[in-house]
Structure formats: structure tokens, C-alpha cells
A = this chain, B = another copy of it.
């Protein structure tokens, strides 16, 4: 009999703030007084929501709250567990056994890692991150090029295609990157991938020897990247970041791979300082390590001159530069790329060949034409302006309505802005309450790699209109004041 059942004797009336607090208090009390034993697996948030008669997000928030206070651990793919004295660091790769798991599966995949469920739109005020605003995208142009590419493809036998990517696209990416990021590169240095996730996966294959390779990872950081390395059997160690980026002095000497987001640290938003970049490159050179530079959204920069990419100031062939078109075009396209140092090219192309042969040709050819006819450059210029206005509106609104509650982290580029909570309010709680009144907003608790992450919000700029922002932040401020 599930011990959780007994807990819900009296839940208050339908008011999300009260519900969350009641749920949180009852769970915490049950843990403290031992009714919920250490190590006990708590029900899934969906089930908890049903049991408690609250929304899914309220249940999620209750768990995030308890986790942030150290009462429970959330282990990806395994569930939430009441904390034990000798507890493991939170959210490491799932290795605990599961009665349901089938012994024919590799242990890593018996409890598949998972990510927090995305909030469900629509929202009156949508601050979800990772989305770009497609309402500005020239779909008519895209469609015309799509049809043209399809026509020419239908005339040729497309049996064999280059796993490295269509030459036309690699050529265009090379010129695009050399312009947007001042990265010197030629088409033969580029490997086209199914977005950044496949780029990370392929690099993990060719660089990670299971049980041997150590990967240094930003904390907080981008969980899907961590999972790609963990799945390959890497020993992922987390390294804290400060306002200058990953703290190089904290990178273990035995590190083989360092994953960083220097242009726009995910999720905090800092840009890595030049000094830190040089220190990082020196570390890589002196330790024979490689750096994976994930440049996921830096085309959208608000300062005229961005810092040089690590790749462009590296003289040691130690940097893999990752780019994606998910932000500048749309995520469903699934096209990204790796700029690879020459010593790894053949291996990377072979890994691509034997993982999925090659990416679909139609999108590659269409994108090549889209870049060739300057539509991409034009669209990015347009969106820089759009997202820039939103960023300005957001920083102004925070200043106006809740500068005492939120401290925005200055950001030079990218599609989201992060603000840390001042004082004792729990961002996870606020986010859940904000969601109940139509504000879609992610708390940083969603992005811990180890420990509790940070107490703040990541405001996405992709879905909210500039003119909505002031009102939205005003509402958010009210929620925070009444919490």
C-alpha cells in the first residue's frame, strides 16, 4: 500500500498558492516525522497531482521545492526519493536498479534519463525558453526553395549521399559562420548533424571511452548534453561557473573533455571573459584535453562585437565548435553542424555514417539555397532587432516592478535572459504559481546538474511580444509579493 495515500486528509480550497504550500508542508512533515522513510520512492508527479487533487505543475513545484530544501532527490528517469543521510549527489546518471527494468537492456537505459516535462501552452504571457519566434520567419520563401529543391532531387537518383553533409550546404555554412562569428573555416571542416543533440552524441562516441573518459561540465548547465556524455559511459564532473564563465581552476586535471557555452552560458547567460577563454584554452593544451564549444544562440547578439569564439583563437586544434539552425530557423528542421579539427574529421564523419548514414537531403539543399540567397542573414538581422527590443523591455520592466526582488544577469546575446531571486522566495514556487495565472516561466531549478542549481528564472524572449512584457512582469511581481 502506497504510504503517500494516507497523507491527503484535508486539502484546502482550489487556490494554487495555498494548494502548493499545503502539499509541500504535508510532504515535508511526513518526511520529518518519518512517515515517509529515507530512500522511499515518491509517486510520479502525475500521480501525486491526482492523489492530491492539484495541477501537475503544482506537484512538480512541490517536489522542486522539497529538492531545493534537500528533503528529496530527483533522479532523472528514476523518480523522486526521500533523502538519505549518505545520499548521492542529485541527478547523476541513473544506475539504481528498477524491478521493472529488463535485464536484456544496458544498465544505463533501464531507467532512461528524462527531462522535466515542458509546460503546456498556451499562455497569456509566454516566457518559456528554447523557442524562437516563427511568426517572423519567411515561410513563403522557405516553401519556394523547398519545392525547388524537391524538384531537382526528384530528377536525380539520390542513392548515395555524403555523410558529412551536402557540399552545397557545408559551403554555405562555412561562409555564414565566417561572417556571423568570425570563425575561419572551410567546407571540409564542417560536419552536418541532426541538430546540436546529434553533434554532442557523435562527439561522445568518438571521444568517450566508457569508464575511462572524464568530462568537465558547467553547473548549472544543459542537461541533454550531460546525458549524451553519460550515456556514452563518461565520468561527468560538474564545475561551477561564475560571471566570467566556467571556473577553470576547478576543472579536474584528469579531464579529457570540457563542455562549455561561452557566448551565452546556459542557463545563466554570462559571456565567458577573454581571460577565462585563454585560461581554458591553456588548460586544454597543457592537459591534452578537447573543448566542446556550444554556440547555441549567439547569432542574436545585442552588442556590435561579440568575443571571438574559442575555436577562432585556438591554435592547438583542441576545439569543436557546435552551431545550430534551431534558433535562427526552427527546431523541427533538425540541422546543426560541427566545426571539427582535422585530426577528428574522418572519425566524426564515420560515426555519422554508421549512426544514421546522412541527414535528409531536402532540408539540406533547401537551407543551402536559403543561405545562398541571403535570406538567413536578413532574417537574423531582423530577429536581432525583435529580440533586442524584448530584452530591453524586460530589463526595464524588472527595474520598474521588482528590482527589489529580481537581479537580472546582464546578457550580450541570445534568446533568454536570466534573473536571480533576491531574498528567500523559492523561484520554483513562484514559477508554479505564476503558471497558474497564465505566465509560462521556467525556474532555474529545472537546470541543476549537481546540487540545487540557482534560485532564479530564465525568461525566454522567443514567444512574448515586447508590448506584453511590462504587464507580465507586473503580474509576476504581485505573485512574488504575495508568496
Question: A109-B347, A112-B349 known; A157 and B463 CB under 8 Å?
Answer: yes
Tallying the copies of this chain within the complex gives: 2
B residues less than 8 Å from A195 (CB atoms): 356-357
Instruction: Tell whether A118 is near chain B: CB-to-CB under 8 Å.
Output: yes
- Among A7-15, A175-183, A198-206, A303-311, which stretch is in contact with chain B? A198-206
Question: A110-B347, A360-B332 known; A160 and B197 CB under 8 Å?
Answer: no
Residues 347-375 of A, flagged 1 when their CB comes within 8 A of B and 0 if not, give 10111001111111111000000000000
Instruction: Tell whether A114 is near chain B: CB-to-CB under 8 Å.
Output: yes
**How many A residues have CB within 8 A of the partner chain?**
76
B residues less than 8 Å from A334 (CB atoms): 356-360
Query: A363 contacts which of B106, B256, B344, B360 (Cβ < 8 Å)?
Result: B360
Docked-complex contact A105 and B201, CB < 8 angstroms? no
Instruction: Tell whether A139 is near chain B: CB-to-CB under 8 Å.
Output: yes
Q: Considering only CB atoms, which chain B residue lies closest to A113 in the complex? A: B350
Docked-complex contact B356 and A112, CB < 8 angstroms? no
Docked-complex contact A350 and B114, CB < 8 angstroms? yes
Bound-complex Cα distance A66 to B134 (A): 59
Instruction: Tell whether A153 is near chain B: CB-to-CB under 8 Å.
Output: yes
Docked-complex contact A142 and B150, CB < 8 angstroms? yes
Bound-complex Cα distance A206 to B355 (A): 14
Instruction: Tell whether A186 is near chain B: CB-to-CB under 8 Å.
Output: no
Q: List 11 A-B contacts (CB under 8 A).
A: A77-B350, A106-B347, A109-B206, A110-B347, A112-B349, A137-B154, A161-B332, A195-B356, A224-B354, A334-B358, A356-B356
Nearest 4 CB-CB pairings of A with B: A112-B350, A158-B332, A194-B356, A109-B347
